[in-house]
Amino acid sequence: MQVKIDTKEKFHVITPNAPVLSATMTDKMDAALLPFLQKDVKNVILDLQEVEEMDAAAAAKLLQIQQIFYENNASFVTCHVQKTVNAFLAENELDDLLNITPTESEAWDIVQMEEIERELLDTEDIEFPDTDIT
């Protein structure tokens, strides 16, 4: 799978250079996306601006990859989903399961919020001193 990779400070933007994401590409999607989990910057924004068609196997694989990223404390956000792909995802009830934003800027906002959330969840519980309020 041919992809364009743009690395930013907190995330990588991966843009597939193909009009179709199909079942035959699912192994290539693993090979292209999962290695980012081994890098210092783990978060990925998948930019689907050039993808006009997707089949069920590819959509299921994206959902699986998204889950793997979240299990590894990394964000995986999809943006610029074309109308035809969005309609397909909605028809197959996958649009609510995938983390999709209209633009890369909004995807970056999601990554930032999830980073903050992970930081807050990683800190120890804050204990407040007992106070006697009477």
**Residue 133, pLDDT score:** 60
**Residue 122, pLDDT score:** 80
Neighbouring-strand partners of residue 92: none
The two most distant CA atoms of the chain are separated, in Å, by 69
Residue 91 in tokens: 């028809």
- Express each pLDDT in 39-72 by its tens digit: 999 999 999 999 999 999 999 999 999 999 999 9
pTM: 0.86
User: What are the sequence ranges of the domains in the chain?
Assistant: 3-122
Which of 61-75, 95-109, 115-129 shows the lowest mean pLDDT across its residues? Answer: 115-129
How remote is the C-alpha of 123 from its chain's centroid? Answer: 24
CATH top-level class of 3-122? alpha beta
